């Protein structure tokens, strides 16, 4: 919603005020196809040169992420804490053997299946199951487990923000590419130096459209989308920090309720359930 409103506001304020103040939109519209084609073509080509195939493949999806917003909502954080509470309580009551059936086949687990959105997030399931598998293998040192999880989270964050950093790189280069397009327009104008002033004026104006488009696209469209994409991934990373904190708290011998409370305090403030809400939610959790 907000990105859409922002884009509309940008176009209304930039082009609407330009026209209202007496600017001739015909010059921009005449030069637009050629200048835009030059700038976009060069920008996309440079993007392809400077990034891997994996980043290129993920870029369209990441642009949608920037427009749609964060994946995790308030209820998802409550569901995550309830699911971790169920796993911790089961381990506390029946030992590690009791959770093997859940972590070996999570998509058949009665605990995971209660929370389908989390179940379909591969990284969430992997980090929970992989961590608990290391416990069944005998690695129970909380500091070692925390270090192992931290490395997984760092790798995941680096990979997920790759397209965002790449888009920011494109935004940094667009003003210069706009200058390239403008210079070509000036070269074209100089080749027609014998034309009347009114024609030369239009040609110079068309050339300057290239500079305008490069700066406009960089700072009003691409850079904001890149910034929002990275901000969303930073917020979503908090979802995985909660998994780490709850499991580490459990490994340190804390009660399931205390482990979940530690996780609850890490939920972003605008989506954080109250202590009473979380207590009510965990009391309704079925342990099987």
- Of all residues in the chain, the percent with pLDDT exceeding 90 is 64
Q: Which residue has the tokens 């079925």?
A: 286
Q: Tell me the per-residue pLDDT of 17-62, one tens digit each, with 9 for 90 and over.
A: 999 988 888 888 888 899 999 999 999 999 999 999 999 999 999 9
Q: How confident is the model at residue 288 (pLDDT cuts 50, 70, 90)?
A: low
pTM, two decimals, is 0.85
| pLDDT: which is higher, 140 or 224 | 224
- Residue 286: DSSP 8-state: P
Q: What is the DSSP string of 199-241?
A: HHHHHHHHHHHHHHHHHHHIIIIIHHHHHHHHHHHHHHHHHHH
How high is the mean pLDDT of the chain?
90
211: number of Cβ within 10 Å: 21
CB distance 273 to 78 below 8 Å: yes
Q: How confident is the model at residue 260 (pLDDT cuts 50, 70, 90)?
A: very high
CB distance 275 to 264 below 8 Å: yes
62-77 burial: b if 16+ Cβ within 10 Å, else e = bbebbeeebebeeebb
Q: Tell me the per-residue pLDDT of 202-220, one tens digit each, with 9 for 90 and over.
A: 788 888 999 999 999 999 9
Hey, CA dihedral for 222, 224, 230, 232, is it positive or negative? negative
Q: Which residue has the tokens 């700072």?
A: 219
- Residue 140: DSSP 8-state: -
Identify the pLDDT of residue 116. Answer: 92
272: left (phi over 0), alpha (psi -120 to 50) or beta: beta
| pLDDT: which is higher, 80 or 137 | 80
Q: Give Cα 226 to chain centroid, integer Å.
A: 9
Residue 123 has phi, psi (to 5 degrees) of -70, -40
Tokens representing residue 70 in the block: 């964060």
CB distance 61 to 68 below 8 Å: no
CA distance 261 to 284: 16
Identify the pLDDT of residue 72. Answer: 93
Q: Minimal CA–CA distance to 98: which of 88, 108, 112, 83? A: 88
Tokens representing residue 84 in the block: 């971790």
Identify the pLDDT of residue 249. Answer: 94
């Amino acid at each position: 919603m907000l990105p859409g409103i922002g884009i509309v506001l940008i176009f209304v304020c930039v082009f609407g005020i330009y026209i209202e103040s007496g600017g001739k939109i015909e010059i921009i519209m005449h030069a637009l196809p050629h200048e835009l084609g030059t700038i976009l073509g060069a920008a996309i080509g440079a993007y392809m040169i400077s990034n891997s195939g994996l980043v290129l493949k993920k870029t369209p999806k990441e642009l949608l992420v920037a427009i749609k917003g964060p994946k995790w909502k308030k209820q998802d954080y409550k569901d995550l804490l309830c699911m971790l509470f169920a796993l911790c309580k089961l381990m506390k009551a029946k030992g590690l053997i009791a959770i093997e059936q859940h972590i070996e086949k999570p998509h058949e687990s009665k605990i995971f299946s209660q929370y389908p959105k989390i179940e379909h997030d591969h990284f969430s399931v992997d980090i929970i199951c992989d961590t608990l598998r290391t416990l069944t293998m005998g690695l129970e040192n909380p500091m070692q487990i925390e270090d192992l999880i931290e490395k997984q989270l760092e790798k995941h964050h680096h990979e997920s923000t790759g397209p965002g950093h790449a888009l920011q790189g494109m935004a940094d280069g667009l003003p210069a590419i706009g200058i390239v397009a403008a210079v070509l327009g000036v070269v074209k104008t100089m080749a027609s130096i014998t034309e009347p002033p009114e024609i030369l004026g239009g040609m110079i104006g068309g050339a300057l459209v290239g500079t305008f488009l490069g700066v406009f696209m960089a700072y009003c469209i691409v850079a904001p989308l890149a910034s929002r994409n990275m901000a969303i991934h930073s917020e979503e990373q908090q979802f995985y920090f909660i998994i780490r904190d709850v499991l580490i708290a459990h490994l340190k011998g804390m009660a399931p309720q205390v482990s979940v409370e530690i996780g609850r305090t890490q939920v972003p403030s605008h989506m954080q359930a109250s202590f009473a809400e979380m207590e009510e939610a965990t009391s309704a959790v079925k342990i099987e």
